[in-house]
């Protein structure tokens, strides 16, 4: 999988720099799960789309939600814990 930023182990995780990562469709795997497997530490609390702690910006691509999340999503925002990649995506988050 191609990443557009360095993995977190090469950079201090306490920084607030924006990171962009490209992800590809994987059956049954959420955006959050893909990012965790790559070593990123994404804030989350519920893993079901209720709290919004994992909100991030969708730069390009398309995701889907098996169940509509309850947390607010603004334009071009996704909830990483509950969406799955449909078309290759690039997401941006602070970490």
CATH number at residue 58: 3.10.20.30
d(CA 20, CA 78): 14
72 in any annotated domain: yes
6 in any annotated domain: no
21 in any annotated domain: yes
36 in any annotated domain: yes
Tens of pLDDT, residues 20-62: 999 999 999 999 999 999 999 999 999 999 999 999 999 999 9
Helix ranges restricted to H, the chain:
31-37
Q: In what order do the strands lie in the sheet with 84-94?
A: 18-23, 84-94, 55-64, 77-79
pTM of the model: 0.81
Name the CA dihedral angle for 56, 64, 3, 51, rounded to a multiple of 10 degrees. Answer: 30
By residue range, what is the domain housing residue 62? 15-94
């Amino acid at each position: 999988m191609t990443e557009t930023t360095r993995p977190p182990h090469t950079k201090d995780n306490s920084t607030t720099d924006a990171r962009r990562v490209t992800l590809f469709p994987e059956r049954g795997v959420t955006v959050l799960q893909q990012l965790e497997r790559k070593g990123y530490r994404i804030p989350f609390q519920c893993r079901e789309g209720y709290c919004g702690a994992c909100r991030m910006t969708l730069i390009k691509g398309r995701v889907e939600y098996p169940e509509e999340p309850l947390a607010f999503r603004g334009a071009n925002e996704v909830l990483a814990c509950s969406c799955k990649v449909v078309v290759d995506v690039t997401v941006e988050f602070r970490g």
